């Protein structure tokens, strides 16, 4: 698969070679049957999940659906949800609403019919809509790892070892659904595929004819007029008797995107590397170098990228002629494996032995596959456990009468709709949002800087796209806070309007300092999927609200007075955005909430405190005591600190300057609201002490995660779930 195109911030580390220890290998024993259905069986193999399936394509799919129903449903739901979130985030040009349907519509006609029949069986067995199964199985085409084959003179006794590293988005939790499948299809070769519940295709495979396969993704996303990569690999595993036949299938089958493969044959102790595009295919022979693979090593084919490729080549050279099982396993340690390593697999095709290391649960420390032990499997033994017929006649699988006449692929109901033009409207003086009265003379003095906004205003709303569950609109209306920058005096919002009937809760979302909207769009997608309207409000001086020649971080770069004015304007704009939401006929005006992340979290906490009317709020990676935050050693505040030093402003002076925008000065006005805070215990940008001050003063519920500010991205899934639950209609 391809290293995932970032939905949020993905951190990449390159480590030193370090110490390479002997591989920890566990036998995948005992083999304990968990469930059976037809000829299918789910095994617990020393704690590893193994699935045995056999028969017609429909029967194999049905067996998987029945034996792994919950896992298939959960994973397909997760894949579709996060693909939609990535489409909504729109970080890449090729990735937009409807990309999944487009990929299926274009590549679907190249997928062999038997794979559709297997997906239909999975759909019926697990009770999942067929279209969702199809879309989830096309998913690898949207998100484009390392591999090698060593043999002959390179290894001890000339044994062929085929290694495959899958570097992928471990934080998404795909490893929770990992399954090693042994398949015995009627009329085709039996094979093993290391993959995930709910998927029919393969990215890591070996067949009974001793052909092994692995891939790594390249570029060219959107070139979908061919057989999807995972189905192409499955086709080779089922049909190829020899290395030559495998290469011929790759050559003759219409292909998509840019992918690289390592294909090996245990019978002939030989391997090839492939570079494939829709219009051409290059074959790399062992011992020959080229521009892409500059290390010519006899009896070795190496596929990786950049420093990882160079490191892999150095390791092979260092142990050349002595590579045995342990050495071959160690070739897949860090840093050849990336920190995003989802699984590692080593095949010994001639004797049918293979070793698998899957990533652990996300919260288990160093959970990636490159830190996990290996499990040893015997392909031929597992294959021998598949019965020739169903042990229980009552569990015989009956294929639908119309299966052979079904038209595949099923016609995709394209979820991306056409834009419907502009709509204008007016929010009149009857839609008011009066600030709560201050609790002290000092607080009332601070609140005097924020006036109630009761004037009417017009707005424009333009539909940008839609899914089955919501539409996305760009909304604009004038700010009541007039700055000296004309562009900044219009408020822009990205509105995710739920298609659920009736008046729904709505949440105003405020973005991080970088202003990319990626995190906010993922949150908006999650909320809208749950029937909650979500409105991303662009902060002052960001995106369309800044002159074209101004940097996005202008917020922090023009001095403390500019910063405080910008934050004050943000608060005023939030309150006007709440009025706009209250005027919409799909919004429950009594259930308008606010949520912000990082800088947006501080502004959200301040806005909610000054407004005093929000009944639900969530602050992510935020806190109180801005003076303390701006006094840390974090690089994010370095320039504003330098400006303060040059101006001779001391800490207590700064505290007074910031008093009007300090969330703690208004936090008592939030104690009656439902507040969820999510913070990182090792955060150096928003120290834990600052988060605790805000939490204690607002009686907030705080969820702590053992990471730093940027490391929070790996907890995106649980954070998203908590935020959605917090704003659901029944929780108000």
- Say whether pLDDT at 140 is over 90: no
Q: In this predicted model, what pLDDT tens digit does every residue of 305-348 receive, in sequence order? A: 888 999 999 999 999 999 999 999 999 999 999 988 999 999 99
pLDDT recorded at residue 96: 66
Average pLDDT over residues 116-144: 88
Confidence grade of residue 417 (pLDDT, cut at 50, 70, 90):
very low
Q: Would 418 be classed as within a structural domain?
A: no
- Say whether pLDDT at 686 is over 50: yes
Q: Say whether both 608 and 677 belong to one domain.
A: yes
Average pLDDT over residues 687-697: 97
Q: 344 and 166 in contact (C-beta within 8 Å)?
A: yes
pLDDT recorded at residue 93: 59
Q: Would 22 be classed as within a structural domain?
A: no
pLDDT recorded at residue 412: 41
Least confident of 188-202, 353-367, 549-563: 549-563
What is the torsional sign of CA 434, 436, 440, 443?
negative
Q: Say whether both 369 and 498 belong to one domain.
A: no
Average pLDDT over residues 691-717: 91
Instruction: Retrieve residue 358's tokens.
Output: 């899957």
pLDDT recorded at residue 644: 81
- Say whether pLDDT at 26 is over 50: yes
The pLDDT > 70 percentage for the chain reads 91
Q: 652 and 615 in contact (C-beta within 8 Å)?
A: no
Residue 351 or residue 418, greater confidence: 351
Confidence grade of residue 624 (pLDDT, cut at 50, 70, 90):
very high
Residue 294 or residue 576, greater confidence: 576
Q: The domain that contains 539 carries what CATH number?
A: 3.40.50.1820
- Say whether pLDDT at 713 is over 90: no
Q: Beta strands 701-705 and 211-217: pairing type?
A: unpaired
- Say whether pLDDT at 596 is over 70: yes
Q: Say whether both 387 and 443 belong to one domain.
A: no
Q: Would 8 be classed as within a structural domain?
A: no
226 burial level (CB within 10 Å; 0-12, 13-18, 19+):
buried
Q: In this predicted model, what pLDDT tens digit does every residue of 508-554 receive, in sequence order? A: 999 988 777 888 988 998 899 899 999 999 999 999 998 876 665 55
Tokens 């029967």 belong to: 59
Residue 404 or residue 524, greater confidence: 524
Q: Say whether both 378 and 451 belong to one domain.
A: no
Q: Would 24 be classed as within a structural domain?
A: no
- The rounded mean pLDDT for the chain is 88
Q: Say whether both 386 and 457 belong to one domain.
A: no
Q: In this predicted model, what pLDDT tens digit does every residue of 68-124 receive, in sequence order? A: 999 999 999 888 877 777 676 665 655 666 778 888 889 999 999 999 999 999 999
Q: Which of 391, 413, 428 is the last residue of a domain?
A: 391
Least confident of 169-173, 302-306, 580-584: 169-173
Q: Which of 367, 391, 415 is the last residue of a domain?
A: 391
- Say whether pLDDT at 416 is over 50: no
Average pLDDT over residues 688-699: 96
Q: Render 474-530 in DSSP notation, one character per residue.
A: EEEEE-SS--S-GGGGEEEEEEEEE-SSS-EEEEEEE--TT---HHHHHHHHHHHHT
Least confident of 25-39, 196-210, 287-301, 345-359: 287-301
Phi, psi of 724 (to 5 degrees): -60, -45
Q: Say whether both 384 and 447 belong to one domain.
A: no
- Say whether pLDDT at 18 is over 90: no
Q: Would 312 be classed as within a structural domain?
A: yes
Q: Render 332-393 in DSSP notation, one character per residue.
A: TSTTTS-TTEEEEEEEETTTTEEEEEE---TTSSS-SGGGSPEEEEEHHHHHHTS-SS-SSG
pLDDT recorded at residue 714: 75
* Domain coverage including residue 568: 439-731
Q: Which of 334, 356, 391 is the last residue of a domain?
A: 391
Q: Say whether both 387 and 449 belong to one domain.
A: no
Count of domains observed in the chain: 2
Q: Say whether both 605 and 683 belong to one domain.
A: yes
Q: Would 69 be classed as within a structural domain?
A: yes
Least confident of 80-84, 605-609, 665-669: 80-84
Confidence grade of residue 67 (pLDDT, cut at 50, 70, 90):
very high
Q: Say whether both 380 and 454 belong to one domain.
A: no
Distance in angstroms (rounded) separating the CA atoms of residues 636 and 555: 12
- Say whether pLDDT at 219 is over 70: yes
**pTM for the structure as a whole:** 0.71
Average pLDDT over residues 427-455: 92
Give how far the C-alpha of residue 448 lies from the chain's centroid of Cα atoms, to the nearest Å.
Answer: 44
pLDDT recorded at residue 396: 76
Q: Would 201 be classed as within a structural domain?
A: yes
Q: Say whether both 122 and 205 belong to one domain.
A: yes
- Say whether pLDDT at 176 is over 70: yes
Distance in angstroms (rounded) separating the CA atoms of residues 726 and 593: 10
Distance in angstroms (rounded) separating the CA atoms of residues 234 and 203: 8
Q: Say whether both 109 and 216 belong to one domain.
A: yes
pLDDT recorded at residue 411: 39
pLDDT recorded at residue 2: 34
- Say whether pLDDT at 489 is over 60: yes
Q: The domain that contains 54 carries what CATH number?
A: 3.60.60.10
Q: What share of the chain is helix, strand, coil (3-state, %, to 5)?
A: 35, 25, 40
Distance in angstroms (rounded) separating the CA atoms of residues 403 and 426: 55
664 burial level (CB within 10 Å; 0-12, 13-18, 19+):
buried
Q: Would 638 be classed as within a structural domain?
A: yes
Q: Say whether both 216 and 276 belong to one domain.
A: yes
Average pLDDT over residues 590-613: 96
Average pLDDT over residues 426-442: 92
Tokens 């000339």 belong to: 158
Tokens 């420093």 belong to: 307
Average pLDDT over residues 617-640: 89
Q: Beta strands 25-27 and 191-196: pairing type?
A: unpaired
């Amino acid at each position: 698969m391809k290293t995932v195109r970032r939905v949020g911030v993905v951190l990449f580390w390159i480590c030193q070679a370090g110490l390479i220890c002997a591989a920890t290998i566990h036998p995948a024993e005992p083999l304990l049957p968990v469930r059976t259905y037809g000829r299918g069986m789910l095994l617990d193999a020393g704690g590893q999940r193994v699935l045995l399936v056999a028969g017609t394509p429909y029967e194999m799919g049905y067996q998987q659906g029945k034996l792994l129903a919950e896992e298939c449903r959960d994973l397909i739901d997760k894949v579709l949800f996060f693909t939609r979130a990535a489409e909504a985030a729109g970080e890449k040009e090729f990735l937009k609403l409807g990309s999944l349907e487009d990929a299926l519509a274009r590549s679907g006609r190249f997928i062999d019919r038997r794979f559709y029949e297997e997906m239909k069986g999975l759909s019926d067995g697990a009770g999942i809509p067929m279209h969702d199964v199809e879309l989830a199985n096309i998913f690898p085409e949207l998100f484009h790892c390392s591999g090698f084959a060593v043999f002959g003179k390179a290894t001890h006794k000339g044994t062929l070892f085929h290694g495959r590293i899958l570097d992928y988005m471990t934080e998404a939790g795909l490893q929770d659904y990992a399954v090693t499948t042994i398949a015995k299809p009627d009329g085709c070769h039996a094979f093993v595929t290391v993959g995930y519940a709910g998927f029919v295709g393969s990215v890591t495979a070996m067949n009974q004819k001793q052909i092994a396969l692995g891939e790594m993704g390249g570029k060219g996303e959107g070139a979908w007029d061919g057989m999807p990569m995972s189905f192409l690999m499955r086709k080779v595993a089922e049909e190829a008797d020899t290395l030559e036949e495998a290469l011929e299938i790759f050559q003759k089958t219409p292909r998509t995107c840019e992918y690289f493969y390592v294909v090996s044959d245990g019978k002939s102790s030989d391997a090839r590397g492939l570079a494939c595009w829709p219009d051409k295919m290059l074959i790399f022979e062992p011992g020959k170098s080229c521009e892409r693979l500059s290390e010519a090593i006899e009896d070795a084919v190496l596929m990786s990228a950049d420093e990882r490729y160079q490191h892999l080549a150095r390791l092979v050279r260092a142990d050349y002629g002595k590579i045995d099982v342990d050495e071959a396993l160690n070739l897949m340690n860090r840093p050849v494996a990336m920190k995003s390593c989802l699984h590692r697999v080593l095949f010994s095709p001639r004797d049918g032995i293979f070793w698998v290391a899957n990533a652990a649960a996300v919260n288990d420390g160093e959970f990636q596959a490159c830190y996990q032990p290996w499990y040893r499997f015997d392909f031929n033994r597992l294959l021998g456990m598949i019965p020739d017929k169903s042990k229980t006649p009552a569990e015989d699988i009956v294929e639908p009468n119309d299966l052979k006449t079904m038209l595949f692929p099923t016609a995709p109901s394209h979820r991306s709709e056409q834009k419907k033009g502009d709509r204008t409207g007016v929010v009149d003086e009857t839609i008011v949002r009066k600030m709560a009265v201050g609790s002290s003379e000092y607080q009332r003095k601070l609140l005097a800087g924020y006036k109630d906004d009761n004037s009417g205003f017009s707005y424009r709303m333009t539909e940008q796209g839609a899914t089955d569950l919501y539409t996305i609109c760009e909304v604009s209306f004038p700010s009541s806070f007039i700055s000296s920058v004309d562009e900044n005096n219009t408020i822009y919002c990205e509105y995710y309007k739920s298609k659920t009937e009736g008046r729904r809760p709505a949440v105003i979302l405020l973005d991080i300092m970088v202003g990319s909207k990626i995190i906010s769009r993922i949150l908006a997608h999650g909320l809208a999927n749950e029937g909650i309207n979500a409105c991303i409000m662009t902060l002052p001086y960001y995106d369309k609200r800044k002159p074209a020649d101004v940097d996005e971080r202008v917020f922090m770069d023009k001095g403390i007075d500019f910063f405080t004015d910008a934050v004050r304007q943000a608060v005023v704009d939030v309150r006007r955005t709440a009025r706009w939401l209250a005027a919409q006929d799909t919004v429950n005006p009594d259930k308008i909430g606010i949520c912000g992340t990082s800088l947006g979290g501080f502004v959200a906490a301040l806005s909610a405190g000054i407004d005093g009317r929000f009944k639900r709020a969530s602050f992510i990676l935020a806190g109180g005591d801005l003076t303390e935050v701006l006094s840390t050693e974090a690089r994010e505040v370095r320039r504003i600190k330098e400006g303060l030093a040059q101006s001779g402003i001391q800490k207590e002076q700064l505290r007074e300057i910031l008093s009007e925008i300090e969330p703690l000065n208004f936090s008592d006005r939030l104690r009656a609201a439902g507040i969820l805070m999510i913070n990182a215990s090792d955060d150096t940008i928003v120290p834990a002490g600052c988060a605790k001050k805000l939490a204690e003063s607002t009686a907030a519920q705080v969820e702590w995660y053992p990471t730093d500010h940027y490391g929070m991205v790996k907890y995106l899934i649980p954070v998203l779930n908590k935020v959605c639950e917090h704003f659901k209609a029944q929780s108000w």
